[in-house]
Structure formats: structure tokens, C-alpha cells
Amino acid sequence: MRLFRNFFYLNRIVLGIVSLIITISLLYSSAEVEAGDESSLLLYSQFGEFCTMCEAVLLCENTNTKDVYNALPQSGQFTLYHLETRTFWSQISTIWEFFIKNFNDDAVKGHQRPVNIIKVDENNWSYPQIGEARISIDPNTIYIEEKMIDRESSQWIELVTNNHIGFCYRLPLWESLEIIEEHNP
């Protein structure tokens, strides 16, 4: 009986500590969102910084003018980046990142996640190539292969030459995935 009572109290203490850590993390992260205008960043959502379970489709095209896309075009010349959810262990590390971020803002600068890369040349759609995207929050960039996307200006930059090659746009997720599936069954 005494062992059961001790376990009961220990369980309540652990739950209290976890609840306290989560509460402090939520309060801190909500205060941080209000501090700057991150809502204009590419991949920023109503949940704040791009979440671990979120997916996104980015269209990057070689152009000098910044356009607006409300849907994925059926043809053209562009590259699609389908950023997938973080891997299991990467998501687990998010708990640690939030905990550390409460004490040291400089400790966590971003994360990595899988990305499918599809190149479109008019009506020819390549099969998805699997790569890795590194999303950084300081500076606000996304690195995919030899390319970088500036999350503030949406510029698409070649890393080797550091030349501007175009702009990137976030597309509606589910509609874009349906069109991608049509071209890559």
C-alpha cells in the first residue's frame, strides 16, 4: 500500500513538472511571436514557425518578377519542393529544442526535414527526388541542395554563384498534392 501511495505522489510530481515546462514554453513562444513581424516569412503559419507536423509545397521559378500563385500551374518551367513532416526522431528533438530555447534563444537556429524535388519543364514532370531541406530561423533561409530560399524576400538563390535565379511561392497544400499525384502516379 505504501509503495502505491509513493508511486501516486511521484506520478503527480512528474505531471506537475511537465505541465509547468509546457506552460512556460507556450507563454514564451506566444510572447516571441508578438515581438516581431514573422507572419510575412515564407512558411510561417498560424501556429508560429513552421511546425513539425506541417507540410508545404513551394513553387520556385526562374524569373525576375515576383508573381502570386493561388494554385499549382499544370505546365510551365519551375521546380516544386514538397517539404514533408519531420522524421520521428527529429520531432522528438523538438521537445528538447523548445526546452532549451526557454533558456537560450541562440541554441536552436532551425531544423532539417525531408523534401521531394520535382522539376517541371512545360508538360514534362520529373519523378520526385528525395532530398533534405534545412530550415533556418537565423538567418531566415531554407537550404535545399545547391539552392537557398530567402524566407523574407522569397528570392531563390544559387549557392555556388550566389546569384539570384528567381522567386519561390507557397502553394495550397492539398490541391497541389493532388496535381502532383496526377503527374506522378
What is the percent of the chain where pLDDT is above 70?
61
Q: Which of the two residues, 140 and 96, has the higher pLDDT score?
A: 140
pLDDT, mean of residues 32-58: 61
8 A C-beta contact, residue 75 and residue 175: no
Q: Which of the two residues, 25 and 179, has the higher pLDDT score?
A: 179
- Which residues touch 10 (CB under 8 Å, ≥6 apart)? none
Instruction: Please give the Cα distance from 175 to 48 (Å, whole number).
Output: 23
Q: What's the pLDDT at 30?
A: 43
Of 34, 58, 60, 52, whose CA–CA distance to 91 is shortest?
Answer: 52
Please state which of the ranges 40-44, 116-120, 180-184 shows the lowest mean pLDDT. Answer: 40-44
Q: What is the pTM of this model?
A: 0.71
Bridge partners, residue 134, by sequence: 112, 143
Q: What's the pLDDT at 148?
A: 96
How many helical (H) and strand (E) elements, i.e. helices and strands, does the chain have?
Answer: 3, 9
Q: Which of the two residues, 89 and 140, has the higher pLDDT score?
A: 140
DSSP E strands, the chain: 56-61, 76-83, 110-122, 124-125, 129-137, 140-144, 147-150, 155-158, 163-171
Task: Tell me the backbone φ, ψ of residue 165, rounded to 5 degrees.
Answer: -115, -5
Report helix, strand or coil for 114: strand
Q: What's the pLDDT at 115?
A: 95
Q: Which of the two residues, 170 and 103, has the higher pLDDT score?
A: 170
Q: Which of the two residues, 46 and 163, has the higher pLDDT score?
A: 163
Q: Which of the two residues, 18 and 161, has the higher pLDDT score?
A: 161
Q: Where exactly are the structural domains of the chain?
A: 1-36, 40-183
Bridge partners, residue 169, by sequence: 59
Q: What's the pLDDT at 113?
A: 87
Evaluate if residue 89 carries a pLDDT over 90: no
